[in-house]
């Protein structure tokens, strides 16, 4: 981490820096403020870390035990730095410069698409990508298994690929008319996927399937990983001028960033599910403290996600980091809604 000053190396679990652009802070009792163009992190009034503000694009606060100064918030907005505060299953506060909201054309197109076939086309592509990527993840984890063990998953993969195909064939006037059919197929695919996910775990930890409110280690770890992904997608949505609270598949509800949830779906298998499976199967320790991940577990998961975000993959004919792919994917949504191009699906190359 260049241009970062840390007083006590034992406190490395406090934060991670992604490409020197994203600061993730997780832990209790920390204060974040500013001094002379630098972000300072304190505990018990002692400065334990500093970071140059001009390097950052966003700050993600992953714990309710972190406080932040209004002076830093004001300065961050001046520099175009977005601040995301996470709670429970997804970010519930996003602070950014008002200029990021000044995208009238794309917002009008987004709202219009909710009632038109364009919105349905987008949702079908998103869900098809999600289910295909879930199937690809299963393929990734069984490729080195003995043939007999791998065969136990082949039928599940085939069923999921068939469901992705069925999604592509749904025809309706708009997404509202097709929502029930879409959600039924998605739910059936999820049932198969999470059953396979459980079977792939070397140690089950009481995981019986995906449960957003589940108290087992696997569900808590998935929730934490998804929160990081949601934060990055939300910031990408703001950059593209879209409205994060107006989704297409996830229905609107006060405080629910529906579009963030929609556009995160294709990336969950690659950036979170894969990491949690890998951590567990490599026998790396994940622990809970008061029904929440302990400090070392949060550090392990966030640093693993950061590592994957820095890896390059092919997308739209280019080799890009996963971080850039997420932003490019969201820009393609905005361009598609404005009628300026196609939505470019993300496909996990297993």
Q: Do the beta carbons of residue 268 and residue 305 sit within 8 Å?
A: no
Where does the pLDDT of residue 171 fall: very low under 50, low under 70, confident under 90, or very high at 90 and above?
Answer: very high
Cα distances (Å, whole numbers) of residue 32 to 27, 39, 69, 165, 318:
12, 7, 6, 48, 37
pLDDT at residue 9 is higher than 60: no
Give dist(CA 78, CA 148) in Å, integer.
59
pLDDT at residue 19 is higher than 60: no
174 phi, psi to nearest 5 deg: -155, 180
pLDDT at residue 14 is higher than 60: no
The angle subtended at Cα 272 by Cα 271 and Cα 277, nearest 5°, is: 115
Taken in order 176, 181, 182, 188, the sign of the CA dihedral is positive
Three-state secondary structure string covering 280-325: HHCCCCCCEECCEECHHHHHHHHHHHHHHHCCEEEECCEEEEHHHH
Q: What is the pLDDT of residues 70-88, one digit of tens each?
A: 999 888 888 878 888 876 5
pLDDT at residue 344 is higher than 80: yes
83-87, 127-131, 328-332: segment of lowest average pLDDT: 83-87
pLDDT at residue 122 is higher than 50: yes
Q: Do the beta carbons of residue 24 and residue 83 sit within 8 Å?
A: no
User: Residue 100 has what pLDDT?
Assistant: 55
Give dist(CA 120, CA 325) in Å, integer.
23
User: Residue 170 has what pLDDT?
Assistant: 96
Give this prediction's pTM.
0.82
User: What is the four-CA torsion angle of 180, 181, 183, 186, rounded to 10 degrees?
Assistant: 170
Give dist(CA 189, CA 191) in Å, integer.
5
Q: Which CATH number is associated with domain 4-87?
A: 3.100.10.20
The most confident of 69-83, 118-132, 228-242, 296-310, by mean pLDDT: 118-132
Q: What is the pLDDT of residues 229-285, one digit of tens each?
A: 998 999 899 889 999 999 999 887 777 899 999 999 999 999 999 999 999 999 898
User: Residue 18 has what pLDDT?
Assistant: 47
Q: Tell me which residue of 288, 281, 325, 320 sits closest to 304, measured CA to CA.
A: 281
First to last CA, the chain: 30
Where are the chain's structural domains? 4-87, 104-337
Helices (H) and strands (E) in the chain, counts: 11, 14
Q: Return the CATH fold of 104-337.
A: 1.20.120
């Amino acid at each position: 981490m260049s241009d970062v000053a840390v007083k006590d190396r034992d406190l490395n679990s406090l934060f991670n820096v992604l490409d020197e652009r994203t600061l993730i802070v997780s832990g209790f009792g920390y204060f974040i403020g500013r001094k002379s163009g630098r972000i300072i992190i304190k505990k018990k009034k002692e400065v334990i870390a500093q970071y140059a503000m001009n390097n950052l694009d966003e700050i993600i606060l992953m714990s309710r035990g972190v406080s932040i100064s209004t002076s830093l918030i004001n300065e961050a907005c001046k520099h175009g730095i977005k601040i995301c505060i996470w709670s429970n299953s997804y970010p519930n506060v996003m602070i950014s410069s008002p200029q990021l909201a000044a995208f009238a054309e794309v917002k009008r197109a987004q709202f219009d698409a909710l009632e038109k076939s364009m919105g349905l086309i987008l949702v079908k592509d998103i869900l098809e990508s999600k289910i295909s990527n879930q199937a690809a993840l299963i393929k990734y984890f069984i490729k080195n298994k003995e043939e007999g063990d791998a065969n136990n998953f082949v039928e599940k993969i085939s069923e999921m690929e068939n469901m992705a195909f069925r999604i592509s064939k749904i025809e309706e006037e708009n997404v509202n008319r097709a929502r029930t059919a879409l959600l039924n197929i998605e739910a059936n695919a999820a049932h198969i996927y999470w059953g396979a996910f459980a079977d792939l775990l070397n140690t089950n930890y009481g995981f019986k399937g995906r449960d957003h409110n589940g108290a087992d280690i696997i569900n808590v770890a998935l929730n934490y990983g998804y929160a990081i992904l949601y934060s990055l997608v939300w910031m990408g949505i703001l950059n593209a001028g879209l409205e994060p609270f107006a989704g297409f598949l996830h229905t609107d509800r006060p405080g629910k960033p529906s579009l963030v949830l929609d556009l995160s779906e294709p990336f969950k298998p690659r950036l979170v599910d894969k990491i949690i499976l890998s951590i567990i199967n490599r026998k790396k320790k994940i622990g809970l403290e008061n029904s929440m991940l302990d400090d070392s577990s949060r550090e392990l998961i966030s640093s693993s996600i950061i590592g994957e975000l820095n890896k390059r993959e092919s997308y739209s004919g280019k080799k890009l980091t996963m971080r850039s792919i997420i932003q490019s994917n969201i820009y393609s949504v905005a361009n598609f809604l404005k009628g300026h191009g196609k939505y470019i699906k993300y496909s996990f190359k297993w």
